[in-house]
Amino acid sequence: MKKAKTEGEKSKIENVSFAEAFKFWLKLGFVSFGGPAGQIAIMHKELVERKKWIGDADFLHALNFCMLLPGPEAQQLAAYNGWRLHGTKGGIVAGAFFVLPSIFILLALSFIYAKFGSVREIAGVLDGLKPIVVAIVVEAVLKIGGKAFKSWFHIAIAALSFVAIFAFHVPFPLIVLAAGILGLASSKFQVQGSKLEERQTSIKQSKIQNLKSKTIKTLFVFIALWLIPLLVSGLFFGWRSLPVKVYLFFTQAAFVTFGGAYAVLAYVNQAMVNSYGWITAAQAIDGFALAETTPGPLIMVLQFIGFMVGWNNADGQNQTFFAIACALLTTFATFLPSFMFIFIGAPYIEKLRGNENLSSALQGVTAAVVGVILNLALTFGTTIVFADSRINWFALLISVLAFVALLRLKIDVLWIVLAGGLLGLVKILIFG
């Protein structure tokens, strides 16, 4: 199932023991700060440059595939590389340990926030973290836009997506679908070497046939795994209960949120705050700030949101237990599809090196994500910097300084987040 490699590369991968890789994936879960870019850089440095377990071309090939999937690209990249090294068990260990440390850390932070969020010192720390989030999201717009905009056509898709979600509140899945169709349509106007492509496709088709039976088995395994929490929640809480609704919503989100944490938060913020009213916009922003302080993928912010949904809407249930149940259901629904995409998609990706139609469609989706993230940046900026129709000069200054530190000075995001929290604490202690 793995693609051909040089003899040296083959022997190097064969010499990597599962125990050795297990230790690395465990360590990675505790040091993977810095968001997707930082986490991808850490993996490249360790796997390609230092340990030489993965070839550079193979690493980038896997990265390109993961960037086009919905969900957390860094976590999916870890699972992909674990799969390349040791098959299914390697992918499970790599993907799981990338997330596990942050699950427990963020559960503790979520409880502290929900229980003691009104404490003066904690409020001060969050006041310093929130402007950092604005700077991070703005930087994401610029960085992702720089990669996504291949032509003026992609800029137009981004602009239309921004207008659709900002002015007309079009649901994010519909924006993704429309962008994919536009991207696919654009490929029809491009002159391609169709004859050569047809010959290459026919040669590779026989290899793909051998994967179909395994794909079906893998799909049934994931369907069974997905059904277990749903059945337990339905039997324990009731089929119309909030945990069941949360599980179904975040399952849907996992399949439509292209663009990682920034895009998924825009979608979730639109639904959870505006449509359902389960949490407040301020709580969503606070969750993003807390997720920035923990290792693991930024999409872990969804666990915090799931926790707060349960905490805010316990309705007679034990508040802490109910919140933890919603949080863990959120996390399971968020990451299970990521493993499925890798274990089903990676073997095909290793056999086929690109399809023009699919590539064009996904480029359209990526461009749309930029417009959606821009909407998120404006929403956050308005809520934080222009709260109560007045300029919060402290928040504005912190946002500008953080943006410069990120974009120009290239300071690690962890240090910027810690500095923001410290400044917020100092402000509340000195000025109240």
Same domain, 191 and 69: no
Q: Which residues of 33-44 are buried (b: 16+ CB within 10 A; e: fewer)?
A: bbbbebbbebbb
DSSP-based three-state secondary structure for 71: coil
Neighbours of 100 (CB within 10 A): 16
Q: Read off the pLDDT of each residue in 104-129 and give the average, rounded to a whole number.
A: 85
In a domain, 326, yes or no: yes
34, 148: one domain: no
Does some domain include residue 29? yes
Average pLDDT score over residue span 376-405: 88
Looking at the structure, do residues 218 and 322 belong to the same domain, yes or no? Answer: yes
Mean pLDDT of 427-432: 85
Phi/psi of residue 352, each to 5°? Answer: -110, 130
Same domain, 282 and 196: yes
- State whether 92 and 110 are in the same domain: no
Query: Per-residue pLDDT tens for 149-165?
Result: 888 999 999 999 999 98
User: Can you spell out the DSSP letters for 189-258?
Assistant: TS---HHHHHHHHHHHHHHHHHHHHHHHHHHHHHHHHHHHHHHHHHHHH-TTSHHHHHHHHHHHHHHH-B
Whether residues 280 and 296 fall in one domain: yes
> Is 333 a member of any domain?
yes
Tally the domains of the chain. Answer: 2
Give yes or no: residues 240 and 301 share one domain: yes
The encoded tokens of residue 361 equal 């469609």
Q: Does 1 fall in a domain?
A: no
Give the highest mean pLDDT range of 132-141, 191-200, 316-325.
316-325
Does the pLDDT at position 262 exceed 60? yes
Nearest of 298, 278, 280 to residue 289 by alpha carbon: 298
Both tokens of residue 67? 């960037």
293 and 312 belong to one structural domain: yes
Spatial CA neighbour of 78 closest among 104, 60, 53, 96: 96
Residue 5 confidence (pLDDT): 47
In a domain, 117, yes or no: yes
The mean-pLDDT minimum among 97-101, 234-238, 298-302, 388-392 falls in 388-392
Note the pLDDT of residue 413: 77
The residue out of 70, 98, 126 marking a domain boundary is: 98
Spatial distance between the Cα atoms of 376 and 260, rounded to a whole number of angstroms: 13
Which of residues 52, 81, 98 is at a domain's end? Answer: 98
Query: In this predicted structure, what is the pLDDT of residue 190?
Result: 60
- Give percent of the chain above pLDDT 70: 88
Report yes or no: 78 and 95 within 8 Å, Cβ to Cβ: yes
Clarify whether residues 387 and 403 are in a common domain.
yes
Q: CA 234, 302, 172: angle at the middle one, nearest 5?
A: 95
Q: Choose the final residue of a domain: 50, 72, 98.
A: 98
174 pLDDT higher than 90: no
Query: Do residues 165 and 65 share a domain?
Result: no
Task: Evaluate whether residue 2 is within a structural domain.
Answer: no
Residues 266-277 have a mean pLDDT of 85
pLDDT in tens, 301-333: 999 999 999 999 998 899 999 999 999 999 999
Confidence band, pLDDT 50/70/90 cuts, at residue 69: confident
Q: Write out the residue range of the structural domain in which residue 56 sits.
A: 7-98
How far is Cα 297 from Cα 290, in angstroms, rounded to an integer?
Answer: 12
Instruction: Tell me: pLDDT of 52 over 60.
Output: yes
Let me know whether 110 and 151 are in one domain.
yes
Q: Which residue has the tokens 């994401």?
A: 140
Q: From the CB of residue 429, how many other CB atoms can be counted at a distance below 10 Å?
A: 11
The pLDDT of residue 110 is: 93
What pLDDT shows up at residue 1?
A: 43
- Mark whether 144 and 184 lie in a shared domain: yes
| pLDDT interval class at 34 (50, 70, 90) | low
Mean pLDDT of the residues in the chain: 84
> CB-based contacts of 19: which residues, under 8 Å, 6+ apart?
none
